[in-house]
């Protein structure tokens, strides 16, 4: 939901834009003079967009961490159940668990 909101917001900004950066057909920056009030509006839009992106990243990272923890729990249960029956499978699951631990560390670093 946040992602689609961000894209709609950005598309709305671009369609109303007189900014030469967002309009590649502009050949010189002075073709679209921007006064102080308009510059303040753009800075506000940029700040709001940055906030939306940052919150989207935080939400996605938290969701990923939760899913990694769930996966880790399932793999640990499977490894314990398999350990008595198949040592080779248990060893493979333990390697998988170490990779999941690394993934969880990467999520935490984000």
Q: What is the pLDDT of residues 15-24, one digit of tens each?
A: 444 554 555 4
Residue 28: domain span? 2-109
The pTM is what?
0.48
Q: Who wins on pLDDT, 66 or 107?
A: 66
Per-residue pLDDT tens over the stretch 77-98: 887 777 767 777 777 777 888 8
In the chain, the number of structural domains is 1
**62-86: burial string, b at 16+ Cβ within 10 Å, e else:** eeebeebeeebeebeeebeebeeee
pLDDT for the residue 1: 46
Q: How many CB atoms lie within 10 A of CB 93?
A: 20
**Number of residues written out for the chain:** 110
Enter the tokens of residue 62: 């938290």
């Amino acid at each position: 939901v946040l992602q689609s909101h961000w894209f709609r917001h950005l598309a709305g900004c671009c369609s109303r834009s007189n900014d030469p950066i967002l309009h590649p057909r502009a050949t010189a920056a002075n073709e679209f003079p921007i006064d102080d009030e308009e510059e303040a509006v753009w800075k506000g839009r940029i700040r709001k967009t940055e906030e939306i992106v940052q919150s989207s990243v935080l939400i996605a990272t938290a969701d990923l961490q939760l899913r990694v923890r769930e996966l880790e729990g399932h793999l640990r249960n499977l490894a314990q159940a398999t350990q008595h029956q198949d040592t080779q499978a248990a060893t493979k699951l333990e390697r998988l668990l170490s990779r999941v631990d690394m993934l969880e560390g990467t999520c935490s670093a984000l």
